[in-house]
Amino acid sequence: MMSFSAHKIYGPKGIGALFVRRKPRVRIEAQMHGGGHERGMRSGTLPTHQIVGMGHAFKIGFETLAAENTRIEALRTRLWEGVTDMDEVHLNGSEHQHVPGIVNISFAFVEGESLMMSLRDLAVSSGSACTSASLEPSYVLRALGLNDEMAHSSIRFSIGRYTTEADIDAAIAQVRVAVEKLRLLSPLWDMFKAGIDLSTVQWSAH
Amino acid sequence: MAYSEKVLDHYENPRNVGQLDENSKNVGTGMVGAPACGDVMRLQIRVNDQGIIEDAKFKTYGCGSAIASSSLLTEWVKGKHLDDAEKIKNTEIAEELALPPVKIHCSVLAEDAIKTAVRDVRAKQGS
């Protein structure tokens, strides 16, 4: 099977597609019941206008794929290079095998949600527990091998078709200022600067 | 996430950020939380011979609500006697900052921090 989401490549919201292999057969359970449309897999009248929109978005996506990948990868590199000279900044995930438009960075000793508060006009999210309703840090980052503290200090930046170099430069500037400001507020930064190995500290978790 | 104006104010203009000499006999240090939890607060108070808190400083690794809770706490404890400072309740902090339910634990940590700092300075002074 393969799932497709129109809005993720600038198509309309409220439409997607599921490719289901015929041979060997895949058994799926219908989620929408009724007239048995789509060979019983998905009942309901199809929104033709949405399908056209999705199809056209895919067409544009396919035609621009190579050029866009190159352009977005360059923006991603620009963003990373704009912050990598700061102390204790780590790229999460593979450096060479990744989706070009997403970059996940940990800024050690600065908690993700507090950093997001300084980046309010940017489309970012954090792997920090504070940003999830369950107060658990991102299980994806954990699976990548990050410890909880690095997960709490992570920010995910998303780059897309309408992102410009100016946007990246503005983001870099805002991030640098915010990280510096929040490190001055951080007891962990103090301890790091004093040469203390944080993994040896006895914390009194609440 | 919607932050109250007061939380935003403390985040943009945190009060009493810094450190005191933790080796001084008049200084109590309360370090609570853990990096693995995404919340670490270090609260320090300096008391005079009458047990009045003359100065307070904090540093926090945590979200906006955690920073605001600890910043507010340093404002509140200044000028208070140790006995009164350790009576500050997390609910008072949460109410003042209009913390949503999911952020109440930040105020709890701040309450822990002041209690730990008070305990620390009392232990140093043998009282």
The tens digit of pLDDT for each residue in A169-192 reads: 999 999 999 999 999 999 999 999
Segments of chain A scoring below 50 in pLDDT: none
Task: Write down the pLDDT at residue A200.
Answer: 87
Task: Write down the pLDDT at residue B3.
Answer: 86
Task: Write down the pLDDT at residue A203.
Answer: 87
- A117 has a chain B CB within 8 A of its CB: yes
| A133/B112 CB distance under 8 A | no
Q: Identify the active-site residue in A18, A26, A130, A196.
A: A130
Chain B residue numbers with beta carbons less than 8 Å from the beta carbon of A147 are: 36
- Pairing state between β B27-34 and A89-92: unpaired
A-chain residue closest to B64, CA distance? A114
Task: Write down the pLDDT at residue A180.
Answer: 97
Among candidate residues A177, A195, A168, A185, the one with its CA nearest the CA of residue A110: A185
A130 catalytically annotated: yes
Chain A residue numbers with beta carbons less than 8 Å from the beta carbon of B36 are: 147-149, 152, 203, 205
| B108/A206 CB distance under 8 A | yes
Among candidate residues A99, A106, A100, A101, the one with its CA nearest the CA of residue A83: A106
Task: Write down the pLDDT at residue A47.
Answer: 96
Percentage helix, strand, coil, to 5, in chain B? 50, 25, 30
Contact residues for B105 (Cβ-Cβ < 8 A; gap 6+): A135, A206, B39
- A203 has a chain B CB within 8 A of its CB: yes
| A114/B37 CB distance under 8 A | no
Interfacial A residues in 147-166 facing B (CB < 8 Å): 147-149, 152
Task: Write down the pLDDT at residue A17.
Answer: 96
Q: What is the pLDDT of residues B55-69, one digit of tens each?
A: 999 999 999 999 999
Segments of chain B scoring below 70 in pLDDT: 1, 127
Identity of the residue in B17, B35, B65 whose CB atom sits nearest the CB atom of A198:
B35
Task: Write down the pLDDT at residue A205.
Answer: 62
